[in-house]
């Protein structure tokens, strides 16, 4: 092994030891607290469980939940005609409350020969059905429409399938989840399987369940997508992030949504 390679290996090992030393015991989350029981399924629990009461209050009251500012905007966009085809979302789907009920709980899924998320489907409808411009992944319009669509599955269990055509994508997502990466040489599993309930710096780690996205993070002071969270995690461990909507993050979304099967859809949730 040459000197530069040896230095890289030693540096990686040291970074790993320092990173793991940063995990501090925060005490087990109170899984018997009545307010959180709906957010626990077997041995898995939602990030709602480790929220502070003030944050839970914000999520539980639609009038206090800041994410509903985006949802309300999307309700107007649902009936807004755009594009050369002269259509709106409601032109094809009618009332959002009835037509989208339960739909988002099964995404990501394979359609048209590829794995897609709710956001991919929204832009497909815009570009192919409405002949309108695609929305930016992290734009207010996309975040609001994604939250509006997912809201119609609120309190329903996540139910993604990894059978058939979805299986290879699931395997890719699982490989990503367990692969060490970045200067800190960490994988998703080190935080969300090995250390949920513990602290890294001042943040209590969750199980990494994505059933609340898009979520309003107090840290962001706005609604944000799951893929934004993926990018943030990659940056935290000094790894090169992928683009939102990339095949890598889409496969990862399938894997983590499969992990969340059975937990209730919460979007738009509120998180610290």
Which residue, among 169, 162, 182, has the nearest Cα to 242 in the 3D structure?
182
Task: Tell me the torsion sign for CA atoms 201, 202, 205, 208.
Answer: negative
| CA atoms of 44 and 265, how far apart (whole Å) | 14
Concatenate the DSSP letters of all residues of 14-40 into one string.
HHHHHHHHTEE------TT-GGGGGGE
Describe the strand order of the beta sheet including 215-217 as a list of residue ranges: 222-224, 215-217, 269-271
| CA atoms of 216 and 266, how far apart (whole Å) | 11
| CA atoms of 160 and 108, how far apart (whole Å) | 7
Instruction: From the candidates 92, 188, 191, 233, give the one annotated as an active-site residue.
Output: 233
Contact indicator for 267, 150 with CB cutoff of 8 Å: yes
Angle subtended by helix axes 247-259 and 226-236, to nearest 10: 100
Based on the residue annotation, tell me whether 191 is a catalytic residue of this protein.
Answer: no
H-assigned helices in 84-225: 89-93, 96-99, 118-124, 140-151, 167-178, 188-192
The residues carrying an active-site annotation are 233
């Amino acid at each position: 092994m040459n000197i530069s390679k040896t230095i890289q290996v030693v540096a990686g090992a040291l970074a790993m030891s320092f990173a793991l030393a940063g995990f501090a015991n925060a005490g087990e989350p109170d899984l018997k607290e009545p307010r959180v029981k709906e957010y626990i399924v077997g041995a898995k629990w939602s990030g709602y469980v480790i929220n502070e009461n003030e944050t839970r209050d914000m999520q539980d009251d639609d009038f206090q939940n800041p994410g509903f500012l985006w949802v309300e905007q999307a309700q107007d966009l649902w009936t807004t005609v755009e594009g050369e085809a002269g259509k709106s979302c409601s032109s094809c789907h009618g009332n959002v409350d009835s037509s989208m009920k339960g739909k988002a709980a099964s995404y990501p899924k394979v359609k048209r020969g590829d794995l897609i998320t709710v956001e991919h489907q929204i832009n497909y409808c815009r570009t192919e059905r409405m002949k309108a411009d695609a929305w930016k992944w992290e734009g207010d319009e996309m975040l609001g429409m994604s939250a509006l669509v997912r809201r119609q599955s609120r309190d329903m269990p996540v139910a993604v399938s990894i059978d058939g055509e979805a299986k290879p994508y699931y395997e890719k997502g699982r490989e990503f989840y367990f692969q060490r990466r970045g200067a800190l040489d960490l994988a998703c599993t080190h935080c969300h399987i090995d250390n949920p309930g513990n602290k890294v710096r001042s943040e209590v780690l969750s199980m990494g369940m994505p059933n609340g996205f898009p979520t309003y993070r107090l840290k962001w002071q706005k609604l944000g997508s799951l893929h934004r969270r993926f990018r943030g995690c990659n940056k935290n461990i000094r790894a090169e992030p992928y683009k939102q909507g990339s095949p890598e993050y889409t496969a990862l979304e399938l894997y983590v949504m499969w992990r969340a099967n059975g937990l209730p859809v919460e979007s738009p949730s509120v998180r610290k």
